[in-house]
């Protein structure tokens, strides 16, 4: 049977500050989606949060870019925004850039990722959700899972994975996609995906243009609105097992808390810390950036789960390392490379300060 898995997310208000989503907001979203499930609009749903982002996980039979599904998500966010307003949560409606919905959620602020596929005999899926970072954060992860034999031994010893994968890479500024075949074009690909604020891995497939194995949100809120209006905390879906990477190969990259862009005021680099659902609440310096892993088995479109994969002592050392790296990066204070380069910061006073000091810059003789 064909199933579409849609994850649609938005920050519609934080509790407290930008640190979490309020339980009442999540309950409200659940009640709306429960009605949609009863009305057979969707097969199933789950509501999760990472930091101040509300993530709606939906399964349905309506395909990608379905107006009905996007409208359902939009209505859920709007109603949750009203609830957030009653509670006077922080940054109410932060990611909703429009007052009106016109058929598709693209460009309206929320992030989304959708995959339509034939549900396999058994369909394990992992959904990663991150807060205080941006879509380029997944480039390292996806490279490790699908192209690094030191991470994924299946690339070497599983005959059904030995041919490698196709990566669709998006140039977020030019809005163009280029496809690379790994391992053959690995070095070419790394030239691009190592520049995480410019190029993002959008999809991974086994055959060129074929079925999607992994997909990520690639909206950049700053570019969509023509100015920086918020962080575009990203989601990544990865289908697992039986010719795709194993669950353990998919989780393995997170033992290395790599540096990502975001953290305080969307203007810093810091380690991506894998955490349990309970600890998906940025604190120190509004961070460090966090990621949760929600695992599901799909059963005729029903979401069996979630399993909280990072609620596991096997990731304790990664968390410890992330804290050490956080100390080290924080010690740089307002200096790069902790603070982002001027043109990548979400907050800046540069134009104003430069203007004020204009007359004081003298030519060097």
* Cis, peptide link before residue 183, omega less than 30° from 0: yes
For ligand F6R, the closer of residues 135 and 262 by Cβ is: 262
For ligand F6R, the closer of residues 18 and 220 by Cβ is: 18
Based on the shown chain and the rule CB under 5 A, indicate whether residue 135 belongs to the binding site for Mg ion.
no
Q: Which residues of 51-73 are buried (b: 16+ CB within 10 A; e: fewer)?
A: bbbbbbbbbbebeebbeebbbbb
For Mg ion, the closer of residues 123 and 346 by Cβ is: 346
Based on the shown chain and the rule CB under 5 A, indicate whether residue 290 belongs to the binding site for Mg ion.
no
Provide the token pair at 167: 């990566």
CB of 50 to ligand F6R, least distance (A): 12
CB of 242 to Mg ion, least distance (A): 34
Based on the shown chain and the rule CB under 5 A, indicate whether residue 93 belongs to the binding site for Mg ion.
no
For Mg ion, the closer of residues 91 and 164 by Cβ is: 91
CB of 132 to ligand F6R, least distance (A): 5
Q: For the chain, how big is the Rg over CA atoms in Å?
A: 20
- Beta-bridge mates of residue 212: 205
What, of Mg ion, ligand F6R, none, does residue 53 touch, CB below 5 to 8 Å by kind? Mg ion
**Catalytic (active-site) positions:** 11, 228, 231
Based on the shown chain and the rule CB under 5 A, indicate whether residue 52 belongs to the binding site for Mg ion.
yes
Based on the shown chain and the rule CB under 5 A, indicate whether residue 261 belongs to the binding site for Mg ion.
no
Alpha-carbon span 301 to 1, nearest angstrom: 8
Binding site for ligand F6R (CB under 6 A): 17-18, 91, 132, 231, 262, 264-266, 286
CB of 93 to ligand F6R, least distance (A): 13
CB of 137 to ligand F6R, least distance (A): 13
Alpha-carbon span 85 to 240, nearest angstrom: 39
H or E element that contains 141: helix 137-147
Residue with structure tokens 């953290």? 263
Provide the token pair at 230: 């918020």
Q: Say if residue 178 is exposed, middle or buried (CB neighbours under 10 Å; 0-12, 13-18, 19+).
A: middle
Q: Say if residue 32 is exposed, middle or buried (CB neighbours under 10 Å; 0-12, 13-18, 19+).
A: buried
What, of ligand F6R, Mg ion, none, does residue 265 touch, CB below 5 to 8 Å by kind? ligand F6R
For ligand F6R, the closer of residues 136 and 245 by Cβ is: 136
Alpha-carbon span 91 to 100, nearest angstrom: 19
What, of Mg ion, ligand F6R, none, does residue 17 touch, CB below 5 to 8 Å by kind? ligand F6R
List interacting residues with Mg ion (CB under 5 A).
Answer: 11, 14, 18, 51-53, 91, 94, 131, 233
């Amino acid at each position: 049977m064909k199933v579409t898995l849609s994850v649609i997310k938005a920050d519609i208000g934080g509790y407290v500050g930008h640190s979490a989503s309020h339980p009442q907001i999540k309950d409200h979203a659940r009640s709306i989606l429960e009605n949609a499930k009863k009305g057979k609009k969707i097969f199933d749903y789950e509501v999760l949060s990472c930091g101040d982002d509300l993530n709606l996980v939906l399964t349905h039979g309506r395909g990608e870019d379905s107006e009905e599904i996007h409208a359902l998500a939009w209505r859920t966010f709007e109603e949750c925004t009203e609830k957030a307003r009653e509670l006077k949560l922080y940054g109410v409606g932060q990611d909703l850039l429009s007052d009106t919905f016109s058929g598709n959620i693209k460009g309206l602020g929320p992030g989304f990722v959708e995959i339509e596929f034939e549900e396999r005999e058994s369909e394990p899926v992992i959904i990663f959700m991150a807060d205080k970072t941006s879509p380029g954060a997944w480039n390292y992860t996806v490279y490790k899972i699908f192209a690094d034999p030191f991470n994924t031994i299946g690339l070497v010893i599983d005959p059904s994975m030995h041919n490698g994968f196709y990566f669709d890479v998006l140039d977020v500024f030019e809005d163009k996609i280029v496809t690379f075949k790994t391992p053959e074009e690995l070095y070419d690909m790394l030239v691009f995906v190592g520049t995480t604020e410019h190029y993002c891995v959008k999809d991974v497939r086994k055959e060129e243009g074929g079925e999607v194995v992994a997909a990520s949100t690639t909206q950049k809120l700053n570019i969509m609105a023509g100015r920086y209006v918020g962080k575009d905390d990203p989601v990544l879906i990865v289908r697992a097992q039986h010719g795709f990477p194993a669950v353990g190969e998919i989780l393995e990259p997170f033992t290395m808390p790599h540096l990502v862009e975001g953290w305080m005021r969307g203007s810093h680099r810091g380690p991506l810390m894998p955490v349990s659902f309970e600890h998906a609440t940025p604190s120190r310096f509004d961070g460090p950036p966090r990621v949760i892993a929600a695992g599901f088995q799909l059963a005729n479109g029903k979401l069996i789960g979630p399993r909280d994969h990072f609620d596991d002592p096997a990731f304790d050392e990664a968390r410890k390392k992330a804290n050490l790296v956080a100390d080290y990066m924080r010690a740089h204070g307002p200096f790069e490379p902790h603070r982002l380069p001027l043109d990548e910061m979400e907050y800046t006073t540069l134009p104003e300060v430069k203007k004020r000091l204009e007359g004081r810059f003298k030519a060097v003789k």
